[in-house]
Amino acid sequence: MSDQGEQKSFQERIDNGETIEPKDDMPDRYRKQLIRMMSQHAHSEVVGMLPEGNWITRAPSLRRKMILLSKVQDEAGHGLYLYSATETLGASRQEVIDQLLEGKAKYSSIFNYPTLSWADVAVIGWLVDGAAIINQTMLARSSYGPYSRAMVRICKEESFHKKQGYEMVAKMADGTPEQQEMIQDAVDRWWWPTLMMFGPHDEDSPNSAELIKWGVKSKTNDELRQSFVDRHIAEAHEVGLEIPDDELEYNEETGHWEFGEIDWDEFWNVVKGNGPMNKERIKARREAHENGKWVREAAEEYARKQKLSKEKAS
């Protein structure tokens, strides 16, 4: 779409709240931005299975194990919907997965932190899924049909994830002194990395303005981060947990919590591949990809044979 008139009518469709579908004309840059964002999102879901997956074999009860297994499987499913949705834009699954395995693609910084205790599983459900829901509820209204529809289903599943996480947080916060200490320690370690999930401040976010113009995002990174903080401070206080931020202050006039500054050096360091777990995460994904090679080959062979027999029959 190079013609200015076409670009204008595309923008009019967006401004009228129309949904853009795979076969519609769209500016190259719109397509590229979506491929970037959706493939990073798919990678985040799949890499995001690793920190919690680490605890499946050590869950404290059968009930907790079943919930965690189901949650981690859900994340795999989210990755699949999102890879499929990205394929509708012409980016093959192979291509985007190769970018991840070669260390060229970004995925959410949050998954490069270690899960040191069972309490981390509770806090990931509460905070990380809580942050994901706030971001993804907005994306469920995004202008690109396959992305927004995937988000509707994903958000429903993430709501269950958050609930099971918060239930566990509340139980531990009301438990023995050791359990209380464990859960507070997990909140202390995950709070700031979770705030980083929303991305850089608006003035440092090169993509936001364009994504908002095209109706992919409808809120900025800082607006979403503020909603997250307001909601989760109330939830922390409800169960008697402290938020590790000395600068937290409720502003009566705005009705919002004011909070301290994120360590942006830490954020960019993690995004650039130097976080505590980046190398292990990529190593685990490469191994999983290698181990799944026979399945891909078998599926390709099956598809090839099906095609041949259909051709023979017609």
Given the rule CB under 6 A, which residues bind ligand FAQ?
Answer: 36-37, 40-41, 44-45, 48, 75, 106, 108-109, 124, 128-129, 132, 135, 196-200, 205-208, 211, 221, 271
- In this complex, which beta carbon is closest to ligand FAQ, that of residue 180 or of residue 207? 207
Q: Give the nearest residue (CB) to ligand FAQ.
A: 48
Residue 198 DSSP SS3 = coil
Residue 235 DSSP SS3 = helix
State in angstroms the smallest separation of the CB of 59 from ligand FAQ: 16
State in angstroms the smallest separation of the CB of 53 from ligand FAQ: 10
State in angstroms the smallest separation of the CB of 270 from ligand FAQ: 7
Distance of CA 108 to the CA centre of its chain: 6
- In this complex, which beta carbon is closest to ligand FAQ, that of residue 175 or of residue 273? 273
Q: At 75, give phi and psi (nearest 5°).
A: -65, -35
What distance in Å separates the CA atoms of residue 154 and residue 77, rounded to the nearest whole number?
9
Spatial contact of 167 and 235, defined as CB atoms under 8 Å apart: no
State in angstroms the smallest separation of the CB of 57 from ligand FAQ: 18
What distance in Å separates the CA atoms of residue 205 and residue 245, rounded to the nearest whole number?
24
Neighbours of 267 (CB within 10 A): 19
- In this complex, which beta carbon is closest to ligand FAQ, that of residue 210 or of residue 300? 210
Mind giving me the DSSP string for 237-304?
HHTTPPPS-TT-EEETTTTEEE-----HHHHHHIIIIISTTHHHHHHHHHHHHHHTHHHHHHHHHHHH
- In this complex, which beta carbon is closest to ligand FAQ, that of residue 114 or of residue 240? 114
- In this complex, which beta carbon is closest to ligand FAQ, that of residue 211 or of residue 236? 211
State in angstroms the smallest separation of the CB of 128 from ligand FAQ: 4
Q: The dihedral of CA 38, 43, 46, 52: what is its sign?
A: negative
The DSSP secondary-structure symbol of 125 reads: I
- In this complex, which beta carbon is closest to ligand FAQ, that of residue 41 or of residue 64? 41
State in angstroms the smallest separation of the CB of 54 from ligand FAQ: 12
